[in-house]
């Protein structure tokens, strides 16, 4: 706790000490040493851990400066905070800075449908551009932080700096591509194995361990996302552990045998 006060004092990190649970939450969400709100503006993105895969990737210092001028960087929010809501007027893109968010919407029967989990460096709200209203809801799954970019200002800036437009197109293209990896014709075992494998690779890309990480998602939400019953998910988690592929305890996921996990994920359609 003392350490945290010191870090805050020197402007390395910033948060409110209003709960005895915040420390563990911060550690879990990998916020520590990654939140530079107190730093000088011109270096915020440059110091960010995920800048290489984020919108500012490949930008010069000048371009970065223009971009940072219009954006709000690294706002910290508690678990369950909602950034935007399905149907609300679209105005800004939100980028995950740390932690994790879930994006969902309600189906015709009012049931929640989880569309994706967003990790640091990923842009949320892209689906709202065409309709000028958000098409999904973003909710923090753990203490998290985000950056916010007003979309119209982004368009203005990008007219002067085409590379920003290009990056945006690439990011959107990647998102369209990523829907390729659909879980539709996989059996439940392959679904879960693939989900874990994909998440693991995404963590790796962000500089976290691919072997062991804190997964702030409830099993209910995983089951919802993968389109299976909660009970089935529980059983299959157990199965994967028995097989020696992964370990999962109190939201700490360990990939024990990555090769095996990959093979299970590729099991052809025994639905």
Residue ranges binding a copy of itself (CB under 8 A): 105, 107-109, 111, 113, 115, 126-131, 135-136, 155, 158-159, 162, 165-166, 168-177, 179-180, 182-185, 224, 226-228, 266, 268-269, 271
Give the Cβ contact number of residue 46 at 10 Å: 14
What is the enclosing helix (H) or strand (E) of 17?
none
Find which of DNA, a copy of itself, none residue 183 binds, CB within 5 to 8 Å per kind: a copy of itself
Q: Specify the 3-state DSSP secondary structure of 123.
A: strand
At closest approach, how far in Å is the CB of 186 from DNA? 7
Find which of DNA, a copy of itself, none residue 32 binds, CB within 5 to 8 Å per kind: none
Find which of DNA, a copy of itself, none residue 144 binds, CB within 5 to 8 Å per kind: none
Indicate whether 251 belongs to the interface with DNA (CB under 7 A).
Answer: yes
DSSP 134-201: -SSEEEESSSEEEEEEEHHHHHHHHHH-HHHHHHHHHHHHHHHHHTTS--TT--HHHHHHHHHHHHHH
At closest approach, how far in Å is the CB of 143 from a copy of itself? 27
DSSP 75-120: EEE-TT-EEE-TTSBP-EEEEEEES-EEEEEE-TTS-EEEEEEE-T
Among 112, 132, 231, 263, binds DNA (CB under 7 A): 231
Indicate whether 197 belongs to the interface with DNA (CB under 7 A).
Answer: no
* Residues 134-173, interacting with DNA (CB under 7 A): none
How far is residue 22's CA from residue 142's CA, in Å, rounded to a whole number?
A: 10
Q: Which residues bind DNA (CB under 7 A)?
A: 21, 187-189, 218-220, 227-232, 234-235, 237-238, 248, 250-251, 269-271
């Amino acid at each position: 706790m003392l350490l945290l006060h010191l870090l805050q004092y020197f402007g390395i990190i910033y948060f409110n000490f209003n709960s005895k649970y915040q420390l563990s939450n911060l550690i879990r969400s990998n916020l520590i040493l990654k939140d530079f709100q107190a730093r000088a503006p011109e270096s915020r993105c440059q110091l960010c851990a995920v800048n290489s895969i984020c919108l500012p990737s490949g930008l010069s210092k000048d371009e970065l400066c223009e971009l940072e001028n219009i954006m709000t960087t690294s706002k910290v929010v508690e678990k369950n905070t909602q950034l935007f809501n399905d149907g609300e007027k679209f105005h800004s893109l939100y980028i995950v800075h740390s932690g994790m968010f879930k994006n969902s919407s309600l189906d015709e029967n009012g049931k929640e449908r989880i569309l994706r989990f967003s990790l640091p460096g990923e842009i949320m709200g892209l689906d709202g551009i065409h309709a000028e209203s958000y098409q999904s809801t973003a909710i923090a799954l753990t203490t998290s932080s985000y950056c916010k970019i007003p979309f119209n200002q982004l368009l203005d800036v990008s007219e002067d700096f085409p590379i920003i437009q290009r990056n945006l197109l690439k990011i959107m293209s990647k998102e369209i591509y990523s829907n390729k990896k659909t879980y539709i014709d996989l059996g439940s075992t392959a679904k879960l194995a693939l989900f874990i494998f994909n998440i693991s690779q995404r963590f790796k890309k962000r500089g976290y361990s691919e072997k062991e990480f804190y997964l702030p998602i409830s099993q209910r939400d995983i089951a919802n996302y993968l389109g299976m019953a909660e009970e089935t998910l529980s059983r299959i988690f157990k199965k994967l552990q028995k097989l020696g592929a992964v370990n999962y305890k109190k939201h700490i996921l360990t990939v024990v045998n990555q090769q095996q996990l990959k093979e299970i994920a590729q099991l052809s359609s025994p639905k």
